[in-house]
Amino acid sequence: MSVRYADRFRIPFKGLKEGDHSFDFEIDASFFEIFPESEIKEGQLHTEVVLHKSIRMLTFDFFIDGTVRVPCDRCLEMFDLPVNFTYSLYVKFGHERLEESANALIIPEDDYFLNVSQYIYEFIHLSLPLRRVHPDDEKGHPTCNPVMLKKLKELSVEENVQTNDERWSALKRILKNKN
């Protein structure tokens, strides 16, 4: 993906009056191409960034809403996972660029814009749950691939049979006696 596409995410703050300024960005597959290492390759998200500008500080409030396409951890099929995330980034001016903390940044006095593409990318990933599975239907049943669910159930039964094997019981007794 070209650098020009990434330039769409520049927020020029020099020359803006003090107060609030809103910037809107549409995130799709082209956005994720900027980040080839991303586990997300597709998505449809809207990001609003509200810049609160004061004399010595900038506050960027990010509001991200939409869906990303991810593999299900249970059945491995792709599905659309809802994303809704809000975060604030505080920017102060100093002599050099420095991350003060997870949400505070110092930038040089002569900078005149902030490219927020990396922040949007990171916030989308931070919003993802650790376990990503298809949502249940209205009756509480999984909507995963039924063939895969059946196979998982079969493997689970085989595993239970193995744990009832006398050799495993003997090993457990030996380990218990060591403690």
| DSSP code at position 134 | P
Q: Is residue 131 part of a domain?
A: no
The larger pLDDT score, comparing residue 80 to residue 149, is at 80
Structural domain includes residue 156: yes
Residue 162 has a pLDDT of: 53
Residues 77 and 28 in one domain: yes
The whole-number average pLDDT for the span 17-34 is 95
More confident residue, 49 or 110: 49
* Size (the chain), residues: 179
Confidence at residue 85, expressed as pLDDT on a 0 to 100 scale: 96
Q: What is the pLDDT of residue 1?
A: 44
Judge whether residue 6 has pLDDT over 80. Answer: yes
In 3D space, the residue among 79, 77, 74, 98 whose CA is nearest the CA of residue 153 turns out to be 74
**pLDDT reported for residue 21:** 97
pLDDT tier at 157 (50, 70, 90 boundaries)? low
Bigger pLDDT: 166 or 23?
23
Tokens of 173: 């007794």
Could you tell me the two tokens for 117?
């593409």
Please tell me whether residues 94 and 173 are part of one structural domain: no
Query: In this predicted structure, what is the pLDDT of residue 158?
Result: 52
Greater model confidence, 92 or 155: 92
- Tens of pLDDT, residue by residue over 40-51, are 999 999 999 999
Q: What is the mean pLDDT of residues 62-67?
A: 98
Q: Are strands 57-71 and 78-94 parallel, antiparallel or unpaired?
A: antiparallel
Q: What is the pLDDT of residue 142?
A: 83
Q: How many other C-beta atoms lie within 10 A of the C-beta of residue 165?
A: 10
Which two three-digit tokens encode residue 151? 């196979």
Q: How far apart are CA 112 and CA 98, in angstroms?
A: 16
Predicted confidence at residue 69, as pLDDT, reads: 95
Burial (CB count <10 Å: 0-12, 13-18, 19+), residue 138: exposed
> Domain tally for the chain?
2
136 domain residue, yes or no: no
Question: Is it the case that residue 112 has pLDDT exceeding 50?
Answer: yes
Q: Report how far residue 33's alpha carbon sits from residue 18's, in angstroms, rounded to the nearest whole number.
A: 34
User: Is there a domain that residue 36 lies in?
Assistant: yes
Please give the backbone phi and psi of residue 157, each rounded to the nearest 5 degrees, phi first: -65, -45
Percent over 70 (pLDDT), the chain: 93
Question: Is residue 167 pLDDT above 80, yes or no?
Answer: no
Give yes or no: residues 113 and 153 share one domain. no
Give the domain extent around 171.
Answer: 146-178
